[in-house]
Structure 1
């Protein structure tokens, strides 16, 4: 049986990402992006912070949870405990849109979710778990208390599927992913319903 928390298990990193994708704001605000990174890492309760996948976290130097560390390899990795108690590999990356927004993507690879036995509705091009959606929404809500942002999305491979300007403050009625939008100083969570 595969250990879902092992960095050396190549299957743990396969299959796409179950994500919390946060539209942090206009591209170029490094202080805001760095604050969002720290807030999400803390809110998710990530154990460790490293830049490599070829060795277990305890076998490599700890990396600071900063944009500079992230810029070196494109990803920061650690381990996170899921709501039902399974310890799995996880990571974070940044997407900077030219003339657009900075996005912070916190993810758990679906290979690790499969290894952990997380029940989900799998399809040809998707992966869905209401438990993970709710957990990632709670991570976004906690992070939003530190750094406000215009939009967060939760689900399988959600990054870049829309943006706050397109939504104009309202989630669609038919939702294949979860949407978190600010309303009255806090985040409103519109769960996936399709």
Structure 2
């Protein structure tokens, strides 16, 4: 099982190795999203490779990306379609922190996967609003029947890129849901 800490460490390594591309694409949300998710050598594909997983990054049942072991891919029918019997990591990426992250959280909560990951980018100068949003997202997860298991397994990871234009791993924060609070990695 891939842990939140393993995923976060792989994410930071990939970010560190792609600073040039990030600097090139960070001025356009569309281009940055392609770099993060849908390019042939996207950040999420690189993370999957670091973790020894395969990645499908073309909207798997409306998820931005899913990471899986190749043995869980059902090889029936047309090869261009992916059918999986198990998802290791369900991944959502949202450029705009204040654009309704609750929708992404809800989508991840109803997805059967070992780890649920949401990456977003709050403006660090709006710390009070960011904290309010984090409280709201925490309460959504806390209200689910599985919240104790999610907390025990630490399998809901929120990655915040406070300023993805900076050339620093310090601009990232990994938070794991626990019943009491978001725990920083």
TM-score by length of 2: 0.32
More contact order relative to length (CA 8 Å, sep ≥ 6):
1
TM-score by length of 1: 0.31
More helix by percentage? 2
More strand by percentage? 1
